[in-house]
Amino acid sequence: MTHHNKTLPMWQVLACGAAIVTLSMGVRHGFGLWLQPITQAQDWTRENFAMAIAIQNLTWGFAGIFSGMLADRFGAFRVIVTCAVLYALGLVGMAYSDTPAMFTATAGVLIGIAQAGTTYAVIYGVIGRNVSAEKRSWAMGVAAAAGSFGQFLMVPTEGFLISTFGWQQALVWLGLAALMVIPLAFGLREPGFAGGATPHRDQSILHALREAFTYPSFQLLMAGYFVCGFQVVFIGVHMPSYLKDHNMSPEVASIALALIGLFNVFGTYIAGSLGQRLAKRKILSFIYFSRSVAIVVFLLVPLTPMSVYIFSSVMGLLWLSTVPPTNAVVAQIFGVAHLSMLGGFVFFSHQIGSFMGVWLGGYLYDKTGSYDIVWYISIALGVFAAGVNLPVRENAIARGHTTAVA
């Protein structure tokens, strides 16, 4: 892959990319804090709220494919700016939705599309195109660590906004915060895309897709990432309610989510750095298996604030640490010309998992009065994902003179 005439300085890509991910991921990580105030104020069920968040995850995944294609073709800058505006509209819309359908349209669809253009797939495309291969896994680790820092920073901030201004005003303030993404996007304007020019690419979109989807390692990565989404989003959204059902104070839940965010910073950075040295498939298998072990231990020991904090810290280390190795493997196998789009597809699988995790959590809770079954499903899926990542082949795909179909 030849770079275009100029690339952006690495520090600039990392600083602006990391700040954008911090805001966009940080805002959404705290959505679990709104579950109780909104369902109580509006007299909705947990399933109503969970459904909107589940649709947000699906929309984010589905829209991510297209925002990835657009970013690969027209540059990330335009995509990020458009989606920052949608994010602000969605948050304000959430505050003033008076029916579950309206809430689903704003919290679900609008914010879902907005996240697609302001999070990993698009930012990782810029990193892939502007950072050399020997630093790529590390750079992706830094950007993911920033998103985790956002979670650590934003969850207590959102808790503070809710307690100070009430849940409705708090959403309006967040909407204003989302607009701060726009000035940051200027740091990611790539010279190769100036004036609507599109860089030369050896492969068409269809070619790239056919190649990826007929390649077994790509399918295995997608299967593993499905599990990642299921576990992470189920815990992120339902953990506060699970703890409240067991008579823990809301502070415990806020601290738990913040600890996940804090340890996530280390986990993603470590995973990205190790990805430069070790086989990434082994790192991924280790992460998935360790998650299952952590959940088993958490369910076996008596539930105390301390056990919650330890579990959150361990899960934090393993939380988004799957992101840098997964995306770096995709770049390693297929190159970077279509990285945002292919990253978008892998992420879509992650989001289908998220949808199942959030929705099943709310649905089975309403049906059985407990989250136990979903915890058990999470354990089984972790073991499955650990198994499917081991046979992944990480070396670059062999292409013929033009483009061989693998």
Residue 301 confidence (pLDDT) above 50:
yes
Q: What phi and psi values does residue 278 have, to the nearest 5 degrees?
A: -110, 170
pLDDT for 2: 42
Q: Count of domains in the chain?
A: 1
Residue 205 confidence (pLDDT) above 60:
yes
Residue 58 confidence (pLDDT) above 50:
yes
Residue 286 confidence (pLDDT) above 90:
yes
CA 101 to chain centre: 24
* Residue 367 to residues 55, 359, 372, 377, Cα–Cα distance (Å): 20, 12, 12, 16
Q: Are 157 and 259 in contact (CB under 8 A)?
A: no
pLDDT for 187: 92
Which residues make Cβ contacts (< 8 Å) with residue 276, sequence separation at least 6? 134, 135, 137, 138
Per-residue pLDDT tens over the stretch 139-190: 999 888 887 787 788 888 998 999 999 999 999 999 999 999 999 999 999 8
Q: Is residue 396 part of a domain?
A: no
Q: What integer is the mean pLDDT of 63-74? A: 91
Amino acid at 121: A
Q: Is residue 217 part of a domain?
A: yes
More confident residue, 321 or 147: 321
Sign of the C-alpha dihedral computed for residues 322, 328, 329 and 334 taken in this order:
positive
Which residues make Cβ contacts (< 8 Å) with residue 31, sequence separation at least 6? 53, 107, 237
Q: Is residue 5 part of a domain?
A: no
Q: Is residue 398 part of a domain?
A: no
Q: What integer is the mean pLDDT of 228-257? A: 89
Give the global pTM. 0.82
Q: What integer is the mean pLDDT of 222-235? A: 94
Q: Is residue 123 part of a domain?
A: yes
Q: What phi and psi values does residue 337 have, to the nearest 5 degrees?
A: -60, -40
Residue 137 confidence (pLDDT) above 60:
yes
Residue 41 confidence (pLDDT) above 80:
yes
Q: Are 36 and 253 in contact (CB under 8 A)?
A: no
Q: What integer is the mean pLDDT of 53-64? A: 91
Rounded CA-CA distance 143/3 in Å is: 21
C-alpha neighbours within 13 Å on the C-beta side of residue 118:
33
Return the CATH number at 349.
Answer: 1.20.1250.20
Q: Is residue 186 part of a domain?
A: yes
What is the span of the domain harbouring residue 345? 10-195+203-389
Q: What integer is the mean pLDDT of 33-53? A: 89
Q: Pick from 236, 254, 237: which is nearest to 160 by CA?
A: 254
Q: Is residue 403 part of a domain?
A: no
Q: pLDDT class for 405, splitting at 50, 70, 90?
A: very low
Q: pLDDT class for 342, splitting at 50, 70, 90?
A: very high
Residue 290 confidence (pLDDT) above 90:
yes
Rounded percentage of the chain residues whose pLDDT exceeds 90: 62
Q: pLDDT class for 269, splitting at 50, 70, 90?
A: very high
Rounded percentage of the chain residues whose pLDDT exceeds 70: 95
Which residues make Cβ contacts (< 8 Å) with residue 211, sequence separation at least 6? 203, 334, 397, 403, 405, 406
Lowest mean pLDDT among 39-53, 165-179, 278-292, 298-312: 39-53
Q: Is residue 212 part of a domain?
A: yes
Residue 403 confidence (pLDDT) above 70:
no
Residue with tokens 């483009």: 403
Rounded CA-CA distance 210/204 in Å is: 10
Residue with tokens 């335009």: 78
Per-residue pLDDT tens over the stretch 344-373: 999 999 999 988 998 899 899 989 989 999
What is the chain's mean pLDDT, rounded? 89
Q: Pick from 162, 185, 169: which is nearest to 114 by CA?
A: 185
